[in-house]
Amino acid sequence: MDSSTRQAAIIGRLQQDGRVEVAALAAALATSEVTIRRDLDVLADGGALRRVRGGAVSLLLRGEELPFALRDVEAAEAKARIAAAVAGLVRDGEAVIVDSGTTGLAVARALAGRRITAVPLSLPAAVALAGDPAVTLLLPGGAPRYGEGSLVGPLTEASLAGLRCDTVVLSCCGLSPEGGVTAHDLQDAAVKRAALRSATRVVLVAEGAKFARTALAVVCPVTAVDVLVTDTTAPAAALAALADAGVQVVRA
């Protein structure tokens, strides 16, 4: 089991129980206590937990998202496959809004160097897209969220209102056929809705784990999505329901 898988398992136990013990984790994950202590130190540095004698306690509220740095390594291979599939859906010459979040960052990396006009909704995505002269970069205004770099607020929403783009690549924190597309942060959800209004085609990116999560703010119903790009872990029943709702499903 690699470090990112172990750390995801540790986070899962913390979110369920609020506290973990080194010895119990080592037995459950079939590794050494030294390795578990190292994983806990990494997660503590990322702000997900606080070390206590013999283990750790969670610093995350129930339903709260993980810090960006930890999410960036979570399911990294699946996000890269999703991003490559999205890049295959985008034609040269398109104007594309690239959403925030770690999957949005993966998409920005996959689109770097393409002959497109890109409107990134986060500072990390802007940096990823700025390294090649083929990309025409349009930066919306707004205030970056601390720790996330996502652009939020009325300036971002007003910037998007003045644009008409071909595609928005939308990320999410939770997804279900019944509950729709959801996000943890209210300001982030408002920017996502503004991006939807400014694009002709909506491409939603979500790894399979997102189907097991629900966040506070509703972004849109699934009927607002044209294409979903997900991975092979997405539940078949949910994908069938999305297809019945008119969503084109692409599994990467």
Percent of the chain's residues with pLDDT above 70? 93
Interatomic CA distance for residues 10 and 28, integer angstroms: 10
In 3D space, the residue among 116, 239, 242 whose CA is nearest the CA of residue 168 turns out to be: 116
**Residue 3: pLDDT over 90:** no
What average pLDDT does the chain have?
Answer: 91
CATH 1.10.10.10 in the chain: give the residue spans. 3-61
**Which ranges of 130-199 would DSSP assign to H, the alpha helix?**
154-161, 186-197
In 3D space, the residue among 246, 174, 186 whose CA is nearest the CA of residue 217 turns out to be: 186
CATH 3.40.50.1360 in the chain: give the residue spans. 71-251
Q: Are 238 and 180 in contact (CB under 8 A)?
A: no
Q: What is the mean pLDDT of residues 166-171?
A: 98
Q: What is the pLDDT of residues 190-243, one digit of tens each?
A: 999 999 999 999 999 999 989 988 888 999 999 999 999 999 999 999 999 999
**Global confidence as pTM:** 0.78
Q: Are 105 and 178 in contact (CB under 8 A)?
A: no
Interatomic CA distance for residues 215 and 193, integer angstroms: 15
∠252-149-202 over CA atoms, to 5°? 40
**Residue 74: pLDDT over 70:** no
* Exposure string over 71-92, b if 16+ CB within 10 A, otherwise e: bbbbbeebbbbbbebbbebbee
Considering the domain delimited by 71-251, tell me its CATH architecture.
Answer: 3-Layer(aba) Sandwich (3.40)
Q: What is the pLDDT of residues 96-117, one digit of tens each?
A: 999 999 999 999 999 999 999 9
Give the pLDDT confidence score for residue 67 in this predicted structure.
Answer: 64
Give the pLDDT confidence score for residue 72 in this predicted structure.
Answer: 55
Tokens 């970069």 belong to residue: 137
User: Cα Rg for the chain, rounded, in angstroms?
Assistant: 19
The CATH number fitting domain 3-61, selected from 1.10.150.170, 3.30.200.20, 3.30.70.1400, 1.10.10.10? 1.10.10.10
In 3D space, the residue among 17, 66, 62, 25 whose CA is nearest the CA of residue 43 turns out to be: 66
∠40-44-47 over CA atoms, to 5°? 145
